[in-house]
């Protein structure tokens, strides 16, 4: 039987390096890693996982907790995480629920069935996270962050994302702007709203209460809310939705009333998931760099598992606006006449 | 520390029964199960998972392999599986890839990190499945089956589903019918096509080759194919799509050409996922009983893990047609005048 000592000799490295490669430690130099992997392939080396776990105390498995797998943003994020884990030779355990899922995931760390956790749906005051941090368990927050939490976090700049949309809509001349909020707690929802409202305020355009509703990232709730806003005496000419799923609901709600997008109503979403590009939606949306977020989160988690004493890192990625047919203009140069016609509304 | 012996005494059952409840064995009578669980709650009993795994050789974890988590059918199926597993106190490990995922999942059984597997995307000639069966590992095929495979299978009747759609479209008077096929191998795709073609043939209406294309369950491919079919000298007046995602692509393709659904083109999908009901699609679709499929598959797998000698079971569920606005009539009573107007096309 081929042993890790054979692999080390063949690749001309130490046994510790072979074991680091097996652990998916990203601080092995790429060419060293390649040499070790080539030696494994050449000898058909198959470390027995149980023996390996015994030696390294690693399960080579990462837990991921999400809140709602039927929101199509999460399958896209999971696919990206899964791809990044594959590249590091790690498996994924998925818990599809906040709350109980997080507790069950924490238990899995203690039982040694996962080495660390990616929380993608943590919210403020989340007890499981606090518990994980008290026990210094390897946890990385991905997508949703918590400013005060002393743990690695990989998020995109949702405040700036909200701000971009405020700029875009006001520059295009909209004076009656609606907002479909996300849920109350997630940082993504809180930050998008903060950036959007703050920039609107700077531009002298506060949201009217009757044009704000809590869609909670849900298609059906968004659909109901936009239908009610479109029946207001002064309906919105543009609506910003806290995620794409809500934006699809807004488009569906408009469609159900014969209100045309973008002629009568501009719709802007957030996430720019694959479906946003479909003809039925053709949605202008703030794009999150999902692959970069996932890759970095996996990287940080594997480093954290290997070295619990690393300083805490907060990685912030930039978002950008993808303009499509659910709005009528490019963000930086709206035609003056369109601005005027909206000003006459 | 509370032991399983304490629980057994308190609940008035044997220790073996306590252990069966912990294993999620479904053959414990519901009221017995409740009594045991109540005793556990009352004493705050927490079996140490490692010790439990040692005794029972069970990880309380089920592996699920799927091929494409970004096809929205799978998140709905996973949510249902996840719900059924929760109810049995089991965790879920997810592998998001066919082929390598299946091998990695098999390895996980051998390492004892999962007790059994649900394969949702197995295809004919799949080597990992053959390997699992040779080694008598607990595997249940869910959603996609394999007629010749000697293992538990839980699927819906896709042949009958295809047949229902043929009946529906021909009765409504369509003479130019298109078909967007799924991929070549999955049983779901093969059976839907078999049932559709066979019933059309019985009704004297074979598919014209230029109105058949392999969309492979993909939105974008379906969109391209329907656009090309709609440019045929005699375009289709109705198209059946092997899944909902392809049907959304067909609707998007029609929309991109200004072809109206259902006035100019009827579109029928398969699966009836949540998005099918959205205004943008309003899709007539064959409904699979996802919750029943998932619940039964979890049940059979837990039974199989407990008792490897059970006879092999094949469970077949019935599908039904959900009629919405992407077609114009109810299946059983199409108005005669509409049938005539189509016959004049």
Beta bridge partners of B17: none
Q: How far apart are CA A60 and CA B145, in angstroms?
A: 31
pLDDT above 70: percentage of residues in chain B: 88
Residue B35 to residue B256: CA distance in whole angstroms: 60
* pLDDT one-digit tens code per residue, A235-246: 999 999 999 999
CATH entry, B4-56, from 3.90.120.10, 1.10.260.40, 3.40.190.10, 1.25.40.10 = 1.10.260.40
Confidence tier at B98 by pLDDT (50, 70, 90): low
Q: For B77, which residue in chain A has the nearest alpha carbon? A: A70
Contact status of B87 with chain A (Cβ, < 8 Å): no
Where do the CATH 1.10.260.40 domains begin and end in chain B?
4-56
- As a CATH number, domain A59-155+290-318 is 3.40.50.2300
pLDDT per position as a tens digit, A183-224:
999 999 999 999 999 999 999 999 999 999 999 999 999 999
Residues of chain A with Cβ-Cβ distance to B111 below 8 Å are: 48-50
pLDDT band at B99 (very low <50, low <70, confident <90, very high): low
- Give the mean pLDDT of chain B: 87
Q: What is the pLDDT of residues B203-237, one digit of tens each?
A: 999 999 999 999 999 999 999 999 999 999 999 99
Q: Is A150 on the interface with B (CB under 8 A)?
A: no
Contact A261, A320 (CB under 8 A): no
Nearest Cα neighbor of B275 from B28, B32, B73 is B73
In A203-243, alpha helices (H): 219-230
Each residue's pLDDT tens digit, B33-55: 788 878 877 776 765 544 444 44
Superfamily of domain A4-55: lambda repressor-like DNA-binding domains (1.10.260.40)
Task: List the structure tokens of B144.
Answer: 């996609």
Listed in order, the ranges of chain A carrying CATH 1.10.260.40 are 4-55
pLDDT the model gives residue A105: 80
- Which stretches of chain B are assigned E, i.e. beta strand? 61-65, 91-95, 116-119, 139-142, 152-156, 177-181, 212-214, 238-241, 266-271, 284-287, 314-317, 320-322
pLDDT at position B194 over 90: yes
Are A158 and A191 in contact by the 8 Å Cβ rule? The answer is: yes
Confidence at B66, pLDDT banded by 50, 70, 90 = confident
CA distance A91 to chain B (A): 8
State the span(s) of chain B assigned CATH 3.40.50.2300: 61-156+290-318, 158-288+322-343
DSSP for B153-222, please give it: EEEE-HHHHHHHHHHHHHHTT--SEEEEE--SS-HHHHHHHHHHHHHHHHTT-PPPGGGEEE-TT-HHHH
Backbone angles phi, psi at A153, to 5 degrees: -140, 135
Residue ranges of chain A that CATH labels 3.40.50.2300: 59-155+290-318, 158-288+322-343
Task: Suggest the residue from B53, B67, B70 to mutate for an interface test with chain A (most A CBs closer than 10 A).
Answer: B70
- pLDDT of res. A203: 97
Among residues A115, A163, A162, the alpha carbon closest in space to that of A137 is found at A115
Tell me which residue in B50, B75, B253 faces A111 most closely, judged by beta carbons: B50
Question: In this structure, which topology does domain B158-288+322-343 adopt according to CATH?
Answer: Rossmann fold (3.40.50)
Instruction: Say whether pLDDT at A330 is over 70.
Output: no
In terms of Cα–Cα distance, which of A175, A181, A110 is closest to A139?
Answer: A110
Average pLDDT over residues A243-253: 98
Each residue's pLDDT tens digit, A101-113: 677 788 778 878 7
Q: B12 in the Ramachandran plot: left (φ > 0), alpha (ψ -120 to 50) or beta?
A: left
Q: Residues A109-147: pLDDT tens digits?
A: 887 878 999 999 887 767 777 778 777 889 999 999 988
> pLDDT for B298-331, tens place per residue?
999 999 999 989 999 999 999 999 999 999 865 4
Mean pLDDT of chain A: 87
Partners of B278 on chain A (C-beta within 8 Å) are 219, 248, 252
Mean pLDDT of A158-176: 97
Q: With beta carbons less than 8 A apart as the criterion, state whether B228 and B213 touch.
A: yes
Lowest mean pLDDT across A100-104, A176-180, B165-169: A100-104
Contacts of A251 in chain B (CB under 8 A): 280
The CATH code that applies to domain B61-156+290-318 is 3.40.50.2300
Tell me if chain A has a CB within 8 Å of the CB of B185: no
> For B237-245, what is the mean pLDDT?
98
Q: What is the ipTM of this complex?
A: 0.77
Examine the pLDDT at B334 and tell me if it is beyond 70: no
């Amino acid at each position: 039987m081929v042993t890790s000592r054979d692999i080390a000799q063949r690749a001309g490295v130490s046994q510790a390096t072979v074991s680091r490669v097996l652990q998916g430690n990203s601080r092995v130099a790429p060419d060293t890693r390649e040499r070790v992997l080539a030696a494994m392939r050449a000898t058909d080396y198959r470390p027995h996982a149980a023996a390996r776990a015994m030696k390294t105390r690693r399960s080579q498995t990462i837990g991921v907790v999400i809140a709602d797998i039927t929101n199509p943003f999460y399958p896209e994020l999971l696919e990206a995480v899964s791809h990044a884990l594959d590249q590091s030779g790690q498996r994924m355990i998925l818990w599809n629920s906040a709350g109980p899922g997080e507790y069950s995931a924490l238990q899995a760390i203690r039982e040694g069935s996962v080495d660390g956790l990616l929380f993608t749906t943590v919210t403020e005051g989340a007890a499981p996270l606090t518990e994980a941090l008290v026990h210094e368990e390897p946890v990385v927050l991905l997508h949703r962050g918590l400013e005060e939490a002393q743990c690695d976090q990989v998020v995109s700049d949702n405040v700036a994302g909200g701000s971009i949309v405020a700029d875009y809509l006001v520059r295009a001349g909209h004076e009656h702007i609606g907002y479909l909020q996300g849920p109350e707690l997630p940082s993504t929802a809180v930050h998008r709203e903060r950036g959007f409202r703050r920039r609107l305020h700077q531009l002298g355009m506060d949201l009217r209460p009757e044009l704000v509703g809590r869609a909670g990232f849900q298609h059906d709730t968004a659909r109901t809310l936009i239908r009610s806003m479109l029946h207001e005496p002064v309906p919105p000419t543009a609506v910003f939705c806290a995620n794409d799923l809500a934006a699809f609901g807004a488009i569906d709600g408009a469609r159900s009333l014969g209100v045309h997008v973008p002629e009568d109503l501009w719709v802007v979403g957030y996430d720019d998931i694959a479906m946003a590009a479909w003809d039925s939606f053709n949605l202008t949306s703030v794009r999150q760099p999902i692959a970069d977020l996932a890759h970095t989160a996996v990287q940080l988690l594997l480093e954290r598992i290997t070295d619990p004493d690393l300083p805490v890192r907060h990685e912030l990625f930039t978002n950008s606006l993808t303009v499509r047919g659910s709005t009528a203009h490019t963000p930086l140069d709206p035609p003056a006449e369109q601005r005027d016609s909206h000003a006459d509304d």
